[in-house]
Structure 1
Amino acid sequence: MSSPTQAHRSAEEIGRTATGPRPLPALGAARGAAELSHVDTTLANGLRVLAVRKATVPLVELRLWIPFAGEDRLHPATAEVLAETLLTGTARRDRVEIDAELALIGGDLGAGVDPERLYLNASALADGLPTLLDVLGDVLTGATYADGEVERERDRLIERIAVSRTQPRTIAREALQKHRYGDHPATREVPEADDVAAVTPEQVRALHAASVLPRGSVLVLVGDIDPQAVPAELERALGGWASERSAVQLPPLPELAGGDVLLVPRAGAVQSQIRLSAQTVPRTDPRYPALQLANLAYGGYFSSRLVENIREDKGYTYGAHSGFEFTGDQAVVNVDADTANEVTAAALLETRYELARLGLVPPTDEEVESVRQYAIGSLVTATSSQAGLAAQLMALATTGLGVEWLQEHPKRVAAVTGAQVAEAALEFFAPGRFTGVVVGDADMLAPKLSALGGVTVRD
């Protein structure tokens, strides 16, 4: 312990010796993926089940993914109300009884929806799994959507939608979706408040009967469980959840072509949102590991080229990021940054510059090794908890993949060469492949963005 008169040393002083900076210790060897005891099967009702033993704590995590697309104009509104009221009561239990039973097993159960799926997430003490599955089966087969519950949750949802539609990120996301995919059902992520107000309890009950279906759905269980025993437990708990019809899949997205960035006016905004997007390849493509490393080098983590340029060097934004978005069997890479109006055009210029530089001046061996270690390490970290592993497996299972892909992926990343990263960068990060939107005050932004080129202004 230092004495009161001893001066405190700075971080820089601590990191140096008389002969220079203290050397960093060498990175340890990457750990191999642990073997996971698991079962991957399909029940008689058509539900795919992926059960994995991870006994780090006496808990279990459950994820249920039900394809839930719809072409009807009111489908997004009805689906949102359904998700909000799914857990408000069944023929056997009211809302309070559901909550009480879950509380007794240290559990919780929540639901949500987007244009692609209805999802339920749950956790509980491992020895409470039978109760959790019984509640889940009751909800899936006996949800009543009482008039009063639907009306109450519908009114709350209208208020939340009104707030959400004022948020810059929501506005930018909606603008990007419509620019990329037009009127495709995938663009209807936030329903219109007027549509929600028109939803009736009868419509919600009808949608549940028509679309909350097991065939084509996926259930993931991770925790202190015996995977071999799970299918029989699920057959007992979910035996009444059955239909000859399959859950409704989202239609394939159209191939995303590059083109001009669209300036979307938002009068009076003091900040702008830059959102760019380009078609890439899914996880099953042999080029994906190299593409993953190229993305990290470009903007996928804090030490990336994009962050170093427009955040650290020029101070145009507090944060910039690039990452993958997977929908069905398709994938895109997105780039986003929020900037002050006066530097928006300059930030877009530098963002495009870094896209081009990634292909023309590909990542060095040192960059490749850095992003390789980050990719492997972040995957290990993300799957170290039961909840993280469940989320990762669900993302894979919905595209037909499973535990084997997850266990083998670190080896694929480790085998990627610098030349393969360079090829992926040149092919997939060329500026001409990207399109997108800039949302902001058009009066301030249009002159500079027009001068920059490759930008059109929405009327």
Structure 2
Amino acid sequence: MTTAGHRSAEEIGRTATGPRPVPELGGQTAAANLSHVDTVLSNGLRLLAVRKATVPLVELRLRIPFGGGEPLHAATAEVLAETILTGTARRDRVAIDTELALIGGELSTVVDPERLTIAGNALASGLPTLLDVLADALTAASYVDDEVGRESGRLVERLAVSRTQPRVIAREALLTHVYGDHPATREVPQAADVERVTPEAVRALHAASVLPRGSVLVVVGDIDPERIVGDVERALSGWASDRDAIGMPGLPEVAGGDVLLVPRAGAVQSQIRLIAQSLPRTDPRYAALQLANLTYGGYFSSRLVENIREDKGYTYSAHSGFEFTGPTATVGVDADTANEVTAAALLETRYELGRLGVVPPTADEVESVRQYAIGSLLTATSSQAGLASQLAALTAAGLGEEWLAEHPARLAEVTVDDVARAALEFFAPARFTGVVVGDAQILAPQLTALGGFVVGEPGK
């Protein structure tokens, strides 16, 4: 019943002859196709410079391969990332912050088992200063004892909180389940390991691993790409080594198998995490697989979301998506559910995996996800920051601006049969494994009855 004088949403969406038709989607343009230079400098650093003069700003992303198998590598790398911008031989922390502020700029760092990333931005006119500060940190970061001690203490506090978060627990459990003791599993170091890191160890890691050869610098903004090559070459001339940056060892292939129930006593929610081997962006079938993933669980109108969120209300958020590590790729499915519906949600998740292959996407479904894929790519690369981040991610697989510019055309060429074949091959339930983190006392009887589950030890 509606209030007099007001129409409901259902009434607004209908005409006398039925629902209002959805308007036709407009034509799509290329995601990039911008003036750019992709070259390797004399020190071995790959430089990808792209002109995108929408605003008088510039964005940079420096990705340095940062693998390491030593027991304290993850902890030492985290401390290095926290302190590399806290002082150099020429500048202390205040001087760095002041110079960046004067050009409307900033620099930040993040590290994971695969890479160290330094991201920055500034007014385009301030790029020389931004590059000078970056070069100073790369070649002369001081890691003074007080700064290392201070940042290590803050990091220990953050890690103590982080390791209690269900999503962090689930992520670590999943990686350990599929990759064992591979360095990729050490995304979040132990607080006790961080406490053991010394300033000498951080300085030694910088000297051994912060190297240009094999690294990639992406610069996007109101720039002349040809001129930038010389500017970067001069600014980073002191950053040199005859050794290559250290990559993480390749990941073993993910094999389908039992899902591990990881006990978390007293938890009121469960974390569902499934994973399977996928295709890298360099594979000709990737575009079809991308559309298959979107149909399954890659956006809000996907089959999985419609089933376990909209129809049954088992979860607030369900999602599937790709993860790229070097030249390899996986596809993952995740959802958080209340204990009482965890088994039912898993049953429906598996059902939708099987249905995607047996009842393949229709022409309408494929066209819908195609337009979403192209539109979201355009949106993600519409800003300088978004384009810089997209390009930086592509460089890990040796790709660049050309791949980004050509991808909408690849998506447009995918047929319904292409998507059906990708769905049948790569979304088969038997290809997946994973973990469920939750209260084993409640979940074990139901999951065991479903089959394909094993119960792990608490804390393992």
Shorter-normalised TM range: over 0.9
Task: Answer yes or no: is 1:372 the counterpart of 2:370.
Answer: yes
Residue type matched to 2:269 in 1?
Q
Q: In the alignment, which residue of structure 2 is the partner of 1:74?
A: 72
Rounded to whole Å, the distance in 2 between the matches of 1:305 and 1:6 is: 37
2:393 to 384, 392, 395: 395
Q: In the alignment, which residue of structure 2 is the partner of 1:129?
A: 127
Report the TM-score when normalising by structure 1. Answer: 0.98
Residue type matched to 1:294 in 2?
A
Q: CA-to-partner distance for each residue in 1:222-267, whole Å, 9 max, x for gaps?
A: 0000000111101111100000000000000001100000000000
Contact kept in structure 1, 2:264 and 2:437, CA below 8 Å: yes
Q: In the alignment, which residue of structure 1 is the partner of 2:223?
A: 225
Residue type matched to 1:185 in 2?
P
Contact kept in structure 1, 2:273 and 2:333, CA below 8 Å: yes
Q: In the alignment, which residue of structure 2 is the partner of 1:309?
A: 307
Aligned-residue offset at 1:104? 0.4
Aligned-residue offset at 1:26? 1.1
Alignment of 1:288-303 (within 5 A): 288-303=286-301
Q: CA-to-partner distance for each residue in 1:345-403, whole Å, 9 max, x for gaps?
A: 11111100000000000000110100011011100110000001001101111211011
Q: In the alignment, which residue of structure 1 is the partner of 2:116?
A: 118
Q: In the alignment, which residue of structure 2 is the partner of 1:433?
A: 431
1:347 to 323, 345, 348: 345
Partner SS for 1:318? strand
Rounded to whole Å, the distance in 2 between the matches of 1:104 and 1:54 is: 23
Q: In the alignment, which residue of structure 2 is the partner of 1:381?
A: 379
Q: In the alignment, which residue of structure 1 is the partner of 2:186?
A: 188
2:59 to 54, 58, 61: 61
Rounded to whole Å, the distance in 2 between the matches of 1:178 and 1:34 is: 38
Q: CA-to-partner distance for each residue in 1:63-117, whole Å, 9 max, x for gaps?
A: 0000001010000000000000010000000000000000000001001100000
Contact kept in structure 1, 2:87 and 2:93, CA below 8 Å: yes
Rounded to whole Å, the distance in 1 between the matches of 2:408 and 2:365 is: 18
Aligned-residue offset at 1:6? 7.6
Partner SS for 1:319? strand
Partner SS for 2:335? strand
Rounded to whole Å, the distance in 2 between the matches of 1:57 and 1:13 is: 43
Partner SS for 2:27? coil
Alignment of 1:146-225 (within 5 A): 146-225=144-223
Q: In the alignment, which residue of structure 1 is the partner of 2:414?
A: 416
Q: CA-to-partner distance for each residue in 1:393-419, whole Å, 9 max, x for gaps?
A: 011112110111001100000000000
Q: In the alignment, which residue of structure 2 is the partner of 1:335?
A: 333
Cα RMSD (Å) of the superposition? 1.0
Residue type matched to 1:457 in 2?
V
Q: CA-to-partner distance for each residue in 1:313-367, whole Å, 9 max, x for gaps?
A: 1110001000000001100000000000001011111100000000000000110
Task: Answer yes or no: is 1:280 the counterpart of 2:284.
Answer: no
Q: In the alignment, which residue of structure 2 is the partner of 1:237?
A: 235
Q: Which moved more, 1:14-23 or 1:390-399?
A: 14-23
Contact kept in structure 1, 2:32 and 2:381, CA below 8 Å: no
Rounded to whole Å, the distance in 1 between the matches of 2:315 and 2:323 is: 22
Aligned-residue offset at 1:25? 1.6
Contact kept in structure 1, 2:33 and 2:401, CA below 8 Å: no
Q: Which moved more, 1:15-24 or 1:98-107?
A: 15-24
Report the TM-score when normalising by structure 2. Answer: 0.98
Aligned-residue offset at 1:24? 2.2
2:257 to 256, 259, 270: 259
Q: In the alignment, which residue of structure 1 is the partner of 2:5?
A: 7
Rounded to whole Å, the distance in 2 between the matches of 1:33 and 1:383 is: 7
Residue type matched to 1:123 in 2?
N
Partner SS for 2:281? coil
Rounded to whole Å, the distance in 1 between the matches of 2:22 and 2:247 is: 50
Rounded to whole Å, the distance in 2 between the matches of 1:318 and 1:398 is: 33
Residue type matched to 1:120 in 2?
I
Q: CA-to-partner distance for each residue in 1:258-313, whole Å, 9 max, x for gaps?
A: 00000000000000000000001100001100000000000000000000110011
Aligned-residue offset at 1:167? 0.1
Aligned-residue offset at 1:11? 2.5
Aligned-residue offset at 1:33? 4.0
Residue type matched to 1:111 in 2?
T
Aligned-residue offset at 1:119? 0.5
Rounded to whole Å, the distance in 2 between the matches of 1:102 and 1:374 is: 38
Partner SS for 1:12? helix
Residue type matched to 1:202 in 2?
E
Q: How many residues align?
A: 455
Residue type matched to 1:68 in 2?
F
- In structure 1, the gaps of 5 or more residues are none
Rounded to whole Å, the distance in 1 between the matches of 2:239 and 2:379 is: 35
Rounded to whole Å, the distance in 2 between the matches of 1:436 and 1:25 is: 41
Partner SS for 2:382? coil
Partner SS for 1:370? helix
- In structure 2, the gaps of 5 or more residues are none
Aligned-residue offset at 1:31? 2.0
Rounded to whole Å, the distance in 1 between the matches of 2:295 and 2:31 is: 24
Task: Answer yes or no: is 1:50 the counterpart of 2:52.
Answer: no
Task: Answer yes or no: is 1:445 the counterpart of 2:416.
Answer: no
Task: Answer yes or no: is 1:20 the counterpart of 2:18.
Answer: yes
Residue type matched to 2:306 in 1?
E
Contact kept in structure 1, 2:30 and 2:406, CA below 8 Å: no
Pick closer, same or farther for the CA change 1:27–1:84 going to 2, 3 Å: same
Contact kept in structure 1, 2:31 and 2:381, CA below 8 Å: no
Residue type matched to 1:298 in 2?
Y
Q: In the alignment, which residue of structure 2 is the partner of 1:456?
A: 454
Rounded to whole Å, the distance in 2 between the matches of 1:201 and 1:364 is: 59
Partner SS for 2:143? coil
